Structure 1
Amino acid sequence: MIKKISFTVALGLASLGALSGQKLLCQEDGNVTEGKKRAEEERATKKTKPRPGPTPGQQRRAASSKCFLTGSWRNELGSEMQIQEVNRDGTFSGEYRTAVSLAQRPIQAAPLNGSQHFDAAGQPTFGLTVNWKSFSDSTTVFTGQCFVDENGKEILETMWLLREKAEAHDGWGATRVGKDVFTRINGQNVDESVRSDGAR
């Protein structure tokens, strides 16, 4: 009798063990599935996660810096321009030396004249005209904005239109459009004595 009870108890325990083992096996499968879901969600989040922006220090530096047009600038093609002091009314003049030309005559420095908008934040918009009369029958107009980036570097982002002399009314064929980004040649901010906002 004792042997029968022991056998029955043993059989019952084995059944319970099998049942509980089955349950645990199911729970483990569920955990694995849940883990896979979580991993997939994390991967998806990483793909769509925005790139980190400028640090608070960089933002403060950019906000406290002003961009001044006065000085020497060079674009990505190697063309250079020198902007003289900006007058109190926003007008300025200077000189432009292009690094690229389709003209048959040798490249020479060309005069430029322009005007800027005075901006309290120090990120002014501006426009300027370059007359290539010294070696070409064409004129270029630039419009853009003076920025200070998150690293404190001054840049001029510009768009331009170049109009060549045409024999007939061919506005589209005689006009080219492009964009240039200029950086200060010395990589330094202009001295306060020649501020482009006309302040002394």
Structure 2
Amino acid sequence: MTPSPKVAPPERWSRNANWWFYRELYRYWQPVANTFQSGGMHLFWERTGTDNNLNVETTAAATLQGDGTVLVTVTAADADFCGVADATLHYGLVSSDSMDHPFDRQFLHVTCVTENELCAAAERDTNQGDFYLPTDRDSYEVPITISNGVGQILLTAKSGSGTVYPQVNAVEVNATYQDWEYFFE
């Protein structure tokens, strides 16, 4: 059982920040019920016994924006696909000056662009799903919500000192799933 993101906005953050847990849930489980009698606050999940990977063909790109942010875009071959991509980002932080900055005071913020657009369209709070990536690693798995064939996240470096920018070396889509958080119920 997990909280429903429709009534518990922090659940969107929990899914994204804890993708290591939810990616297994999406891969081998599916929602079977909602607690509508108590306001729909929870989703009940059942193990499927199979791999739920939809194997939707995708392309992925990371584009440096003029403001030093990086826009990651996943595009499905099926322009009508709505779901979630399980993606691995290979990334780092780059200093804009020649000084070496300790990366222990750096943060890499992820703005869930497509999720925020879906929430705004449904007149729900936006930015509830945004999260941070660890800066002591060079790769991390993240969910990228796809709506009508396109999903985007925006990476922004937050620095304790100096000017630091994100650098994405590669984006790999490992799997695609039905996105129970945004397209169920």
TM-score (norm 2): 0.29
* Larger strand proportion of the pair: 2
* CA radius of gyration, larger in: 1
